[in-house]
């Protein structure tokens, strides 16, 4: 379904490639985890797949569609949950969602119903008409998620969707995503929470220095890595213990 071929990205003025000759194939209805240390190239890869940045070389397609030929079709097909809260702070949750839903051509009562259903599922219905700038981080994360799924995307990209949220919010988000996946949405997400990825993902890929290190089902990766009891052990054994600070 998502076919990535020899994708590379080097930012202007950078010494190294952020993503280098990466090949990947993600099947329909998968929950695919892109894992890696800070600066590994996860966000860059997601940004390329969402048409936010241009790859230096290589190509990719989603459902055999490309941005060069089928830009609007593709945009209608995907949803993206960015790492930042991409919301208007002075608008209410409902107003934000109504606006972003409208950008997908949704309108009227059906849009209102979709918004209310999603708010209810994520425990935010009571706060629908409160301004975003009064929300906690966890609440903003959930609204950020709803804004990306109102149009029932076939593929949903999530960049660290549970970062900085409490356990309760995290669980609600994960359950919601699992429900979406059951309904047919392919999910590609990046995370630093390896335990969460181990339980949540059907397959994962570990990337480091922009290169694909390994990919497979979490259980298989753990079993094949000597002395590893969980995904974190696998991760450490493959990427090492050195700090990955970048300036």
Partner 1 sequence: MHKLMASAYKEFLLLIRDIGGIAILFIMPLVLIVTITLIQDSTFKTVSDAKIPILVVNNDNGNVSETILKGLGESNAFEVNIKESEDVAKDLVFKGKYQLAIIIPENLSSGLEQKVTQNVDGIIEKFGFEEDTDSLPKETIKSKEVKLYFDPATQMTFKSSVKNGIDKMVAEIETKSIYKAFQEQISDDPTEVIFETENFITFKEILPKENNKEIIPNSVQHNVPAWTLFAIFFIIVPLSINIVKEKSQGTFVRLRTNPVSYATVLGGKTLIYLVVCLIQFVLMLLVGVYLFPAIGLPTLDVSGRLPLLFVVAIFAGLAAIGLGLLLGTIAKTQEQSAPFGATFVVILAALGGVWVPVFVMPKLMQTLSNISPMNWGLNAFYDVFLRHGSLLDILPEISLLFLFFLATTFIAIVYNEKKNTV
- Site residues, partner 1 (CB under 8 A): 48, 50-55, 67-68, 72, 75-76, 78-80, 82, 84-91, 95, 98-100, 102-105, 107, 131, 147-148
Q: How far apart are CA 139 and CA 233, in angstroms?
A: 32
By beta-carbon proximity to partner 1, the closer residue of 68 and 168 is 68
Considering beta carbons, is residue 43 or 169 the nearer one to partner 1? 43
Paired residues of 245 in beta bridges: none
- The least distance separating partner 1 from the CB of residue 23, rounded to whole angstroms, comes to 19
Nearest Cα residue to 33 out of 152, 165, 206: 206
Q: How far is the CB of 195 from partner 1 (least distance, A)?
A: 28
Residue number with CB closer to partner 1 (38 or 68): 68
Q: Considering the complex, what minimum distance in angstroms separates the CB of residue 146 from partner 1?
A: 12
Residue placing its CB nearer to partner 1 in the complex, 68 or 171: 68
Q: Is the dihedral of CA 54, 63, 218, 171 positive or negative?
A: positive
Q: How far is the CB of 79 from partner 1 (least distance, A)?
A: 8
Cβ at position 88, least distance to partner 1 in Å: 6
Q: How far is the CB of 100 from partner 1 (least distance, A)?
A: 7
Q: Which CB atom, from 72 or from 183, has the smaller least distance to partner 1? A: 72
Measured from the CB atom, the residue of 49 and 206 that comes closer to partner 1 is 49
């Amino acid at each position: 379904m998502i076919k990535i071929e020899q994708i590379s990205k080097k930012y202007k003025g950078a010494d190294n490639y952020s993503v280098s000759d990466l090949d990947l194939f993600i099947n329909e209805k998968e929950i695919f985890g892109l894992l890696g240390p800070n600066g590994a190239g996860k966000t860059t890869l997601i940004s390329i797949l969402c048409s936010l940045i241009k790859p230096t070389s290589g190509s990719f397609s989603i459902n055999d569609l490309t941005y060069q030929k089928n830009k609007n079709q593709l945009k209608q097909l995907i949803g993206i949950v960015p790492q930042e809260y991409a919301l208007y702070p002075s608008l209410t949750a409902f107003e934000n969602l109504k606006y972003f839903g409208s950008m997908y051509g949704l309108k009227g009562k059906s849009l209102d119903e979709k918004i209310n259903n999603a708010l209810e599922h994520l425990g935010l219905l009571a706060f629908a008409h409160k301004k975003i700038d009064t929300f906690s981080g966890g609440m903003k994360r959930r609204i950020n998620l709803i804004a990306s799924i109102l149009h029932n995307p076939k593929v949903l990209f999530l960049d660290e969707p549970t970062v900085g949220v409490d356990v309760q919010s995290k669980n609600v988000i994960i359950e919601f995503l699992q429900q979406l996946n059951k309904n047919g949405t392919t999910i590609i997400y990046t995370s630093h929470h390896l335990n969460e990825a181990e339980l949540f993902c059907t397959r994962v890929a570990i990337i480091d220095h922009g290169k694909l290190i390994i990919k497979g089902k979490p259980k298989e990766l753990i079993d094949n890595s000597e002395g590893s009891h969980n995904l974190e052990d696998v991760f450490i054994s493959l990427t090492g213990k050195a700090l990955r600070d970048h300036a």
